[in-house]
Amino acid sequence: MTPIRYELIKTCKQTGARLGILHTPHGSFETPMFMPVGTLATVKTLSPEELKEMGAGVILSNTYHLWLRPGHDIVKEAGGLHSFMNWDRGILTDSGGFQVFSLSEFRRIEEEGVYFRNHLNGDQLFLSPEKAMEIQNALGSDIMMAFDECPPYPATYEYMKRSVERTSRWAERCLKAHQRPNEQGLFGIVQGGEFEDLRKQSAQDLVSLDFPGYAVGGLSVGEPKEVMNRVLEFTTPLLPANKPRYLMGVGSPDSLIDGAIRGIDMFDCVLPTRIGRNGTVMTSEGRVVIKNAKYARDFTPLDPNCDCYTCRNYTRAYIRHLIKCDETFGIRLTSYHNVYFLIKLMEQVRQAIREDRLGDFREQFFEQYGFNKP
Ligand SMILES: CNc1nc2c(CCNCC3CCCCC3)c3nc(N)[nH]c(=O)c3cc2[nH]1
């Protein structure tokens, strides 16, 4: 029996968003949830204790990166990723498909797999469904992702159709290569771009293989937000209501709320730590670029409505000073706040679902954050 189980608690009467619990071998966590990204076996600058205190449940890592460095064999020898990085809650690993397309040039896609260059030293590499499963098996993640192609945006219908069919064949090969289905859950990834019939074909192919969970891939690749929302509107209903739905690579606060409203349960995004590293923070009143001179004598917290460690103890002026001086403590404070902000945003989304008012919450949040400003 699969170690991953989704429990639907209730549906928001105002929007249709779902409140659920994701049960994993490393704990049970409420959804909708935001999953911090820990590419190289660390959520950059933050400790596991800090992640726990802010309420992180599942974090992400990646087949491609850990295969290259330190090597999945070393992680396996350490007893798997949980012990290697001292994280005893949930871990989801992406299959490397996306990274091959986003990090590497000169790639060649064949039926057997993808030939590409190591983005660190230019060596020729080959990744396949079987190889991606071997690596994720060694990493010991609670949730593995099928090896897929995330096509570029935009792509022609013909290209997208061939890609969807190959991704479905690759998903089947992943299932066959799955060595420990009772210990690790494997999610299928729905592709098809913005073409409704291809999304339907992809979803039907994958649902017929009965995965414990499904991801909506191929989005947040440069398409307008209206396109993403439209694709979600006709894709999530194709997925079983009793299985978790993961929207890959999303995202900004508005996209998290709009994704939850369209039936998504799980999100991941590098945004909080990535923009945090250049001193940009998400606050309840919109983005703050802390290097801006206007904060030089601003002795208030990053976000007046935030109770995180950073906002309780430090001022904008101090954090601006650290970031401008390239002091490491500065990016720790901004990263902590940004991850905390998205995790707490999802707590507010879950509370709004409990009280059947996620539509009202969306209005109020968008207004305060400034998403509705023309
Ligand atoms: C940012 N937009 C976006 N990301 C996508 C991703 C990556 C999701 N994030 C994974 C982390 C990235 C950093 C390292 C750790 C794993 C996608 N992944 C896959 N496999 N397929 C997609 O269609 C797919 C589509 C995506 N769109």
Name the residue at shortest CA distance from atom 24 of ligand 1: 217
Is the C-alpha dihedral spanning 64, 70, 73, 78 positive or negative?
Answer: negative
Cα separation of 146 and 159, whole Å? 20
Per-residue model confidence (pLDDT) at position 374: 62
Per-residue model confidence (pLDDT) at position 22: 99
Q: Is the predicted pLDDT of residue 105 greater than 90, yes or no? A: no
| Count of beta carbons in the 10 Å neighbourhood of residue 210 | 11
Contact 87, 79 (CB under 8 A): no
DSSP, res 294: G
Question: pLDDT tens, 240-255?
Answer: 999 999 999 999 999 9
Catalytic residue (one of 205, 268, 303, 356)? 268
- For the entire predicted model, the pTM comes to 0.98
Active site residue 307: no
Cα separation of 360 and 147, whole Å? 38
Per-residue model confidence (pLDDT) at position 18: 98
Averaged confidence pLDDT in the chain? 97
Contact 28, 371 (CB under 8 A): no
Question: pLDDT tens, 325-352?
Answer: 999 999 999 999 999 999 999 999 999 9
pLDDT range class, residue 2, cuts 50, 70, 90: confident
User: Relative to the CA of 97, which ligand 1 atom is closest?
Assistant: 20
Q: How far is the CA of 324 from the centre of ligand 1 (A)?
A: 31
Strand-pair partners of 245: 214
Contact 39, 102 (CB under 8 A): no
Q: How far is the CA of 297 from the centre of ligand 1 (A)?
A: 39
Q: How far is the CA of 49 from the centre of ligand 1 (A)?
A: 25
Mean pLDDT of 60-88: 98
Per-residue model confidence (pLDDT) at position 1: 73
Contact 58, 143 (CB under 8 A): yes
pLDDT range class, residue 26, cuts 50, 70, 90: very high
Radius of gyration of the chain (CA): 20
Ligand 1 pocket, residues with Cβ under 6 angstroms:
37, 39, 60-62, 94-95, 97-98, 145, 148, 150, 189, 217-221, 248-249, 268, 270
Catalytic residue (one of 73, 94, 258, 307)? 94
Contact 120, 103 (CB under 8 A): no
User: Relative to the CA of 147, which ligand 1 atom is closest?
Assistant: 20
The three-class DSSP label of residue 91 is strand
Q: What angle do CA 360, 364, 369 make, to 5 degrees?
A: 145
Q: Is the predicted pLDDT of residue 10 greater than 70, yes or no? A: yes
Q: How far is the CA of 102 from the centre of ligand 1 (A)?
A: 9
205 vs 97 pLDDT, higher one = 205
Active site residue 268: yes
Q: How far is the CA of 304 from the centre of ligand 1 (A)?
A: 32
Reported ipTM: 0.99
Most ligand 1 atoms within 8 A of CB, residue of 35, 127, 150, 174 to mutate: 150
Name the residue at shortest CA distance from atom 19 of ligand 1: 98
Place of tokens 């290259």: 68
Cα separation of 235 and 239, whole Å? 7
| Dihedrals phi, psi of 105, to nearest 5 degrees | -100, -175
